[in-house]
Every structure is written in structure tokens, then in C-alpha cells.
Structure 1
Amino acid sequence: MKKYLALLLAVLMLAAVFTGCASKETTTDTPAASTDTAEPAKTDENTAAEETPAAEPASEEGKVFNIYAWNEEFKGFFEKYYTVPEGVTVNWIITPSADGAYQDKLDEALLNQENASADDKVDLFLAEADYIQKYTESPVTQDVTALGVTDFSSTYAYTVQAASDASGVVKGVSFQCCPAALIYRRSIAKDVLGTDDPAEVQELLNSWDKFNAVAADAKAKGYLMTASEAATYRVFSNNVSEPWVDANNNLQIDPAIQTWMQQAKDFSDNGYTQDCDIWSDECTAQMFGEGKAMCYFGPAWYFNFSMGNAQDADKGCFGDWAICEGPQAHFWGGTWLLAPAGTDNPTMVADIMNTFINNEEVCTNLVKNEAQFSNNQKVNETVAQDPAYGSDFLGGQNDIALFCDLAKNIKFENHTIYDQLLNEGLQANWREYCKGTVTEDEAMSNFYKYINEKYPTIVTP
């Protein structure tokens, strides 16, 4: 049944997409807030003339607001910084994303949207870069400018592009911008490189040749260069020159991905890393104070939301980290808020979106209180220039200053609706080759079988 629903939804989307190129579910409630947030920022004079008013549900709007997500990151920000209109109950339908489980759950709800009762309709849903086009290129989402989200003057251009269909219709917004960096352990860098200064570390690790050479030095001193052979994957995958699938539905493995495959095998063979998933306990255990891994890669959300072991009060190494650009500029992920067609709460949908991109107080709180890199350039630049600001986790380093520079060159290109599962599938099957449990040919054959099962329309070798 799940395959049927996913296929049915995909059929609605594929034509538009190619013209241009056991899970656990939880439901929680957010009651109406009792305090007010600051007024939303004024819109740009070229796009709107009046200040956005505080949220007031129209009389015909619903009293139940359903949000679909795959984790609780945005839920935490929402509950801290958004004032729910009086009389509205917010339900969170959270399904982990592994193996496409979140997409399956969401697809089922969207396919039933037209016939769903008012209290069961999807009112807002979250999507990642790996599959956002599946929804933006479909009639299951709607134009947010028609709802009142019109001021994108402070947002980063790629975040608007990613949330738009091939005709330029904007279907959502992101509350964050996700330039990514090399996140390194200061104490290990001092031992291996002789310095933990971000500028000096960058000079020593500013190319893959240097990075690979330092991996040997790290091993010689008893360290791991990375905690997983997949730690560098997103650097390569977000620098590809062609998408996973061409216009004729043929699978293509970009040269950048092939370079990662060779590096992964070399690192595994030489003991520079561990053969494990980046989300595994084996990988994240290296974030504890007793860990031996020098380098991780990720945006602000990664060291805020995914490096909990490093932040552990008893066993962590809080403050023993820093960031630099690393061997290659890249971005990773991000969370977009998309507007589903058929919501009975359009005013609240627009108010949430405007709050998280244009309310400068909220965006500043995301940066200073939540270690996020917001999707408001004005706010980020202000923090970047603040001499009093520094990340405690990063030993006082102003990460926002670096991210402001890295964000300037982000491009959203060469993405498909298949990216999540193809990225996951390649890493999982290639890891078995790195571990020596299968041959290279067997690993690739297994990857192709995986693709054929998930996406029968893709032509594999």
C-alpha cells in the first residue's frame, strides 16, 4: 500500500520535475500561547507597504493546526518563539525520516487531504533539500505569496529557489540557511597540526590532498581523521555537476561521488576512520571527551542538534571545537516549511512563515539562543559584526561571521526527488564493500537492486 501511495504521488510530480532537468510516529499537542512575541519585521518597500499584523485566525479558519515533521528541532523553536492564536491547538505528527518513512506518512496524508475532515487536514509540513522538489513541483503545495508571504528581501536566494517550482511559484520558506563547515576538535588539532586557530587550520586543510595527507598524520598519533567514512559525503554530494537521474531516467553517478567512494575505501583500508553510519552510536560516541575523531562536517544545525555527546556535561568536550571552511565549500540540508493545498488555516500558515524569516527578534533568538544560522541576512550580519558574540561550544569563535561568508556562494542545483534514498542507499551499500563483507561489484549490484525496488522507473546499469 505504501508503495502504491508513493507511486501515485510521484506520478503527479514527475512531469513537472523533468521538464527542468518499523518507523515510530508520535503526535503531540502545542496549546495556544499566553504571551505575545514582538511584531513581525516590516516588509520591504518594494514588496509590501504595511507591517504584518499579529496572528489572528480568520473566523472561517480551523481550530486545529496539524504540522508534519521528521524530528522535534523546529517544534522546539516553534514552541519558544511563536504565539499560537487563541483557541487553536497545534498537533505535531512526527515520523523519523530513515528509509523514507516520513515521506510515506506525509504522502498518505496529502493524498487524503481533499477528503480529510477539517481537524485532520495537513496545515504545514516540513521538507528537506533531498526531496523538497517532490512537493514543490506538485499541486499538493500552494503559492505562499497568495497567502501573504511576499517579503523575501532578507532571505538567502537559494532557499527561495529551493522552495519554488519550475515556474518560479514559491511554495514555502526555510527558517535557516545551511552553509556547512569542517568542525574540528581543538585539542586534537593542536596535537596533529600544531595549532587550533581556525585560520591556520584552514590553511593546512584547504584541499582534499592536504586533508588526506593529514589523515595519515592523525593516525600516526592515535587519532581518527573522521568518525565515519560517510562524514565527508555531503561535501562531495553537494558539489556534483549532474543530478542522480538524467532526463531519460538513467542513473548517473557524478565524478564527485566517485571521488568520495575512493576516499571512503582508502580511509577504511588505512584505518583513518570507522565503517559506520554517521548517525550511529559508534560514530557519535567519538564526540565524547574520550573520543579520538578530529573532524566532522556540518552546518550550525549539526553541532547544535546532532552533537549532543560533545555537549554532555559529564563526558563531553564542550568548548573544545572550532570550525573552518575545510577542503571544499558546501551546504547541507535545511528545513523548509511548505504550505499544503487544502489547509483550512491559511492565515496562520502565512504568519508562521513570516515570523521565522522576517521577525528580527525571533531570528536573532534563533542565532544567539539556539546556535542556528537564520534565514535573515540582516540579522546574521549584525551578529557577525558583534565583537561580544561568540559560540561557547566553539570556544568563543564567532561562527556566524564565517557562515555569512560561506552562505554567499550556495547554489541549489542538480537535485532530484530521489536524493534522500539514493544518498542513503549508496552509503549503506558502499560501506559493506569498505568493511570487506562484499566485493565492489557486489556492492554496486546491491545498490542497483535497492534502486530498482525503491524507484522502478530509474534505469540502472
Structure 2
Amino acid sequence: MKKRVVSLLMATAISASLLAACGGSSAGSSAATGETGGDAAAAGGTEGAVINIYSWNDEFRTRLEAVYPEVESTSDDGTVTKLKDGTEIHWVINPNQDGVYQQKLDEALLNQGTAADDDKVDIFLSETDYVFKYTDADADVAMPLTDLGIDPDTDLADQYPFTRTTASDQNGVQRGSTWQCCPGLLVYRRDIAKDVFGTDDPAAVGEKVKDWDTLKATAAELKAKGYYTFASYADTFRLYGNSISEPWVTAGETTVKVDPQIMNWIKDSKEWLDAGYFDKTVKGQWNDDWNKSMSSSSKVFAFLLPAWGIDFTLTPNWDGETGAWGVTNPPQEYNWGGSYIHAATGTDNPQHVKDIILALTSNKDNLIKISRDYQDFTNTVSGMQEAATDASFASEFLGGQNAYEYFAPVAENIKIAPLSSYDQGCVELIQNAFSDYFQGNVDYDRAKANFETAIKERYPDITEIQWAE
């Protein structure tokens, strides 16, 4: 099992020869170091001079600088943050694209046991799509929070429960924490709503999109007036994917199980695309056509986005007047994203790491400040309930609407889908394979075969794919 976990850690982009070379040290960094960071803390060991934090962008750095009281200064290039006690945080940033971030992180984690103290990974971040790869108890690369002296049941009691579940291993032991909670809403064009429904009131629009059957009828209304409901079939995937009943791969097995909800997404996406409810020219997300579908010249009515999606994606792509967008309830509760903070097993800075995790994910005042400064929907239930009724959280971009009023109840009802170490590959490759089918490039059976080939290439240990029919 341990050898298989190491293979998964390296599956992103490391060559087979490197995997073989690392196989002999797959007993884990705890054994290699002789003691974990938690052991060092308990023994009262001296903290290191450098805290190495691995991430894929500067989002975590900016939040830490905004609320962590021990920050003294940051270098002009953003690579080093000095703390008041003289300790330096070194930011090791590699892009997410093409698996580069995970490749570099995996290499560092596999070398953790032999690295010099000031070269060890102390903190690293993960995303929801691949968090379980790092919280897996067999991998043992992320420390249990209790080993740092953090009691999740008391210190993190105000967090949204599904975020704690997401950050836990298969035994229910929490091995990470997040400042973010990423519930998603339906974000709509007010002018299109007025044209088709006669109103842009969020409650009235919410009634038109309150469930999938109602939304389908609404999609026909929008089409009749020359509008698309969503830009792409990829826009709805997260809602279906959040509703799967079993993990893509059950722990200890080598079979990918394609859940009935994923099959429903395939069926419904084809139906909606053929009906003209999606824009056929927009093929997936994160491309130029998708970005342009957020512009004032677009005929797309709505997007399904979390708070970060409005801030990082919709706002910069919108070229019309401020206040043209509104938010309302989605057809079902869903979560999209989330950056999890982990203490690396073997860190020589357990006390600093503990302080940072608590300051960034447990301190309610700090999290409310992050929400105000960066529009993040942050991870305290009580804080977000307060924000939902606080007029000062109104958004100019949303025409003076307080989006937290809609985000908060969605967050409280999210039930996270069961996780596995294979989630990122399955989520990416199923969409890639069936995008070709939706676009008419291949037939249904070929799309299935293409997924089976691609998933086995990504994860050579997978032996079978089972399709719910």
C-alpha cells in the first residue's frame, strides 16, 4: 500500500525511472527523519531559521501578510517574508499548470527525510481536487493537526463541517485546515433577467432557477429570447460532481467507478447543448471563448461561481457597467475549490506552523478581515452569518447586493462528495473525453474508450473502469 501511495504522489508528472528510484525510501518521511515535527515540538526543540511554504500563487502569502501579526516585512519580489523574531518565510511558488506544482512538491516531500533543516518543506497547500492525495494516512506527508497541538474539535469548531471533512484522512483524522469556504451561487446578468423575466430581483430570479427541472424550463424561455443559460457544459459539472455517492476509486482498490451523477451530467449536457441552452462555440472553461462569454457582448445569462470566481474570473472579464450582475441561489448546493494548508511531516518549525494555521483558519476577526479585503467567503460559520446581515459587505460590482446573504445558507447545506487520491485526474479526464463527444468529434462509445485509456495512462495502477448505466 505504501508503495502505491508513493506512486500516486508522483503520478502527476514524474517519470517512471524517478518513481523506481524513490521506491526504496517509500517508508515515509516520519521514519526517515526519526521524529515528526510534532515530536520535536513536544521535546521543546529549537525552531529553524527558515519556514519553506510551497504554493502555486501568491494568494496565501497576501492573506498571511494581511492578518498574521508576526509579519515584519516582505521582499519586493515577494519571495521572502521576514517575521519579527527574525525567522524568514521562503515562498516556493510553482504554477499549477501541467501538474508542475504537484511535481515539485512531490519531489520535495519524497526528499524530506534527508533534506537539511532549512530546506525542508514546512507548510504546503493543496486544492480540493487533489487534497486527499496529501491527507491520505498511508502517505503520511501531512501531519495530523493534533500532533501540532491543535484540537480541531475546539480550535476549529466554528469552521464549516464539510471543510474539516475534506481536510481529513480516511480515518477521520484532520491533516489540514483552510481559511476558505467555497460555496457556489448562480451569478446572472441583470439586463438579461429584466428582458426575459421582467425583473432582476434576486429572489424572483432564484425562483426561476431553484432546481434542475425549473431551470430547464427557464432555459427554454431564455433561448426563445436569444440567450444561452450557461456558456458551456463544463459550467455545470461541479454540481453533478459534488453529488456522487461513492469515491471515484475506493481506498485499496484499483477500479474507477463512474458514478450515476456523472452519467447524468453526460446525458443532460448533450441534451442541453443540442437544445441550444449552451453556447456551442464555448468548449469547456479557462479558455478565450469562455472568458469572452463573460463580456457585455455575450448572450450568456449566468455562470455558476464561488466567491473567488466572481473576484478572479468574472470581474476582470466584464467590460460593461458596474452593477450589471447579481447573485441568487443555484439549482443545488455545491462547492468549488478551496486551498488547504498542511503542516509537512518532518517540519523543523512546528510551533510557527501551528501559529500560522490558527491565525489563518481559526481566528474569526482575521477571517472577517480577509473577507473584507479580498471578498473571500471565509471559514467561520458565525463570521459569515454576521456578514450575511451586514450591509457593509455589499458589493459595488453586484449592484450593491450583499452576496454573503446567499453564500451563507448554501455553505451550511453542502455535503462534500467522498474523496479519493484519484479525483483530479478523473475530474479532468472525464470532461476532456466527453467534450469531444459533445462537440461531435467522436461518438459516445469512443468517448468512453478514450477516458478509459487516458485514466490508465495517468494512473498505471488502475485496472478497470466501471460505468453506471
> Deviations 1:158-202 (Å, cap 9, x if unpaired)?
212221223332211110112211111111122122221111111
Q: Which has the higher helix share?
A: 2
Aligned counterpart, 1:216 = 220
Aligned counterpart, 1:2 = 14
CA distance in 2, matches of 1:211, 1:352: 43
Does residue 1:200 correspond to 2:207, yes or no?
no
Is the CA contact 1:452–1:460 (under 8 Å) kept in the aligned structure 2? no
Amino acid at match of 2:233: E
Q: Secondary structure at the match of 2:395?
A: coil
1:435 Cα offset (Å): 1.1
> Greater shift after overlay, 379-388 or 293-302?
379-388
Residues 420 and 99 (structure 1), Cα distance of their counterparts in 2 relative to 1, 3 Å cut: farther
> Deviations 1:109-138 (Å, cap 9, x if unpaired)?
100111112232111111112221111122
CA distance in 2, matches of 1:6, 1:374: 38
Q: Secondary structure at the match of 1:191?
A: helix
Amino acid at match of 2:434: W
Residues 59 and 305 (structure 1), Cα distance of their counterparts in 2 relative to 1, 3 Å cut: farther
Aligned counterpart, 2:266 = 261
CA distance in 2, matches of 1:426, 1:167: 28
CA distance in 1, matches of 2:156, 2:126: 19
Q: Secondary structure at the match of 1:282?
A: helix
Q: Secondary structure at the match of 1:395?
A: coil
Aligned counterpart, 1:78 = 64
Q: Which runs of 5+ in 1 are unaligned?
A: 14-57
CA distance in 1, matches of 2:425, 2:402: 35
Is the CA contact 2:250–2:420 (under 8 Å) kept in the aligned structure 1? no
Q: Secondary structure at the match of 2:169?
A: coil
TM-score, normalised via structure 2 length = 0.82
Is the CA contact 2:66–2:370 (under 8 Å) kept in the aligned structure 1? no
1:71 Cα offset (Å): 2.9
Amino acid at match of 2:205: V
Aligned counterpart, 1:292 = 299
Is the CA contact 1:172–1:336 (under 8 Å) kept in the aligned structure 2? yes
Is the CA contact 2:168–2:176 (under 8 Å) kept in the aligned structure 1? yes
Q: Which of 262, 285, 288 is the equivalent residue of 1:281?
A: 288
Q: Secondary structure at the match of 1:336?
A: strand
Aligned counterpart, 2:443 = 439
1:59 Cα offset (Å): 8.2
Q: Secondary structure at the match of 2:340?
A: strand
Q: Number of aligned pairs?
A: 414
> Deviations 1:317-370 (Å, cap 9, x if unpaired)?
432222222211111221110111111221221111111123233211111221
Q: CA RMSD in A?
A: 2.4
Does residue 1:384 correspond to 2:409, yes or no?
no
> Deviations 1:245-290 (Å, cap 9, x if unpaired)?
2464322211111111122222332333234221112101121222
CA distance in 2, matches of 1:260, 1:434: 11
1:2 Cα offset (Å): 0.4
CA distance in 1, matches of 2:232, 2:133: 29
Q: Secondary structure at the match of 2:126?
A: strand
> What are the equivalent positions in structure 2 for 1:322-333 lying under 5 Å apart?
322-333=326-337
TM-score, normalised via structure 1 length = 0.84
Does residue 1:114 correspond to 2:113, yes or no?
yes
1:203 Cα offset (Å): 0.8
Aligned counterpart, 1:41 = none
Is the CA contact 1:288–1:309 (under 8 Å) kept in the aligned structure 2? no
Q: Secondary structure at the match of 2:223?
A: helix
CA distance in 1, matches of 2:327, 2:459: 38
1:67 Cα offset (Å): 1.5
Amino acid at match of 1:75: R
Aligned counterpart, 2:432 = 428
Calculate percent identity across the aligned residue pairs: 41
CA distance in 1, matches of 2:322, 2:149: 42
Aligned counterpart, 1:416 = 420
Q: Secondary structure at the match of 2:164?
A: helix
> Deviations 1:191-230 (Å, cap 9, x if unpaired)?
1222211111111111212222322332332322112210
Q: Secondary structure at the match of 2:421?
A: coil
1:81 Cα offset (Å): 2.6
Q: Secondary structure at the match of 1:424?
A: helix
Is the CA contact 1:6–1:104 (under 8 Å) kept in the aligned structure 2? no
Amino acid at match of 1:270: A
Amino acid at match of 2:104: K
Does residue 1:363 correspond to 2:363, yes or no?
no
Q: Secondary structure at the match of 2:352?
A: helix
> Deviations 1:292-332 (Å, cap 9, x if unpaired)?
21111121121122224345xxx244322222222111112
1:12 Cα offset (Å): 6.4
Q: Which runs of 5+ in 2 are unaligned?
A: 1-12, 28-43, 72-82
